[in-house]
A = this chain, B = another copy of it.
Amino acid sequence: MDIRELLVKVKNNEISIDEAQKALKKLPYEDMGFAKIDHHRKERQGHSEVIYCEGKSREHLREIFKALIKENKRVLGTRADEEQYLYVKEHIPEVVYDRSARLIKYIGEDIAQIGNIAVCAAGTADIPVAEEAAQTAEFFGSRVTRVYDIGIAGIHRLFANIDIINKASCIIAVAGMEGALPGIIAGLTDKPVIAVPTSVGYGSNFGGLSALLTMLNSCANGVTVVNIDNGYGAAYTADVINKLINEKGKC
């Protein structure tokens, strides 16, 4: 918002006061009543708005998809169930769905994948959350290296893969149960580690709380944490870091 330019135009009578006032106040979103689509988010944050599908009615969902597709070549919906997908697909046949990652994707144009994000998962039951992270990062345009089933019950599997992991610009480490994986990776790398606790486990796991606390209390340096099962959130930040490192002139 270039205020000076606007003021100069007012002074020079190149723009009316009404227009200037409107410009200074103008709403950078589209008001749909039940939703206000934030079309300027891409300018502000680097990514266009992503749709959190859970809990939204399928009619709302369809309209939000339509509004975003009008303005964007690529649109992503997270935490979508199959029923939501089928309804949206009926009206927007181009969308595709990944059942494991629960993502609905509209890919109107391909983009290059740059840099390298390592997505690590402790066990096979953590793969859905890891895939949400991996596919989100790929959707945003980051290259992804998957390293799955390297949990601490057989720690040599991690050691055999540590060189591959260390090649990435940023590491996402997904783990349920005791959640020790991110801390151990952090002790073996000089890259930022984004830890994702999962709700995999039972008993005193308390829906992922155990893994979350483990990760927050890690005595290894370089670990930051996102919410339980939040593969999307980890991918968002990893993509930001990966691009800042690998795109020229970003910083």
Contacts and interface: CB of A to CB of B under 8 A. Distances in A.
Interface string A126-150: 0100000000000000000000111
A33 B221 contact: no
Given A24-B3, A156-B28, A184-B180, A201 B217 contact: yes
12 contacts: A34-B148, A45-B188, A54-B202, A56-B124, A152-B183, A169-B244, A178-B215, A180-B214, A203-B217, A216-B225, A244-B244, A245-B251
Contacts of A96: none
A223 B44 CA distance: 15
B125 A56 contact: yes
Given A152-B219, A183-B180, A3 B21 contact: yes
B60 A124 contact: yes
Question: How many copies of this chain does one complex carry?
Answer: 8
B178 A217 contact: yes
A155 B45 CA distance: 13
Interface in A156-182: 156-157, 160, 169, 177-180
A221 B153 contact: yes
Contact of A244 (B178, B184, B245): B245
Contacts of A246: 251
A17 B2 CA distance: 13
Interface string A183-208: 11011111110100101111111111
A229 B127 CA distance: 24
Contact of A225 (B55, B188, B189, B226): B226
Contact of A227 (B180, B204, B251): B204
Contact of A157 (B27, B122, B156): B27
Contacts of A60: 124
Contact of A194 (B28, B56, B224): B224
